[in-house]
Amino acid sequence: MSSGVQMLAPPQRFMYEYGCFVSFWGNFDLMMETLIWHLSGTDPIKSCREINRLTSGVKHQRLTQLLMDVSPEAATALDRVFDVAKRNDWVHGVVLNPRGDFSLLTRFRVQKNPFKVENTPIGFNWSFHEFYEAYGQFEQSVERALGIDMRVMCDDYLRAVQRHG
């Protein structure tokens, strides 16, 4: 963490970390979409139209099925990323600052089945390190199993979609 971030007050430092997490989650979601496209062997435009609109949970299920034939290790690493993110409820919750008070942040979460509403205080010492670690392990396991560079593959997918979309 840069020294400028360390100098932030705890609530602002947490919001910085949370923003980074949300950004990395978006990249992870794109990585899943790209892998589904690659492993299913479909046209990038067709894949994007079908896959991009799906929830991360549905992408997770589809990608797990595709990876089981290629690399059970990568499928297990994928599950770990979801376990960490789901366990923390960051992906499905909303960070709020009640009454505009940044000395207290809460995580608001609505679960559908069974219906449950939570609004719990957030400790400012929270770390997303476990997510980043699981993300990196997943990326490495896929690259080993498929012999690819995920960053290059994601760039290729995005260029193909942008060119034709």
Domain spans in the chain, listed from the N-terminal domain onward: 3-90+129-164
The token pair at 114 is 């069974």
Average pLDDT over residues 30-48: 95
pLDDT at 124 over 90: no
Is 5 in contact with 13 (CB distance < 8 Å)? yes
**CA dist 67 to 51, 105, 114, Å?**
16, 38, 30
Average pLDDT, the chain: 89
Q: Could you give the CA distance from residue 52 to residue 58 in angstroms, rounded to a whole number? A: 11
Q: Which range has the worst mean pLDDT, 8-17, 56-65, 83-92, 124-133?
A: 83-92
The single residue listed with the structure tokens 């499905």 is 92
pLDDT for res 85: 86
pLDDT at 38 over 80: yes
Q: Confidence class of residue 165 from pLDDT cuts 50, 70 and 90? A: low
The token pair at 83 is 């376990």
Q: Confidence class of residue 40 from pLDDT cuts 50, 70 and 90? A: very high
pTM of the predicted protein model: 0.86
pLDDT for res 95: 85
pLDDT at 137 over 70: yes
pLDDT for res 39: 96
Please give the residue that has the higher pLDDT: either 25 or 105.
25
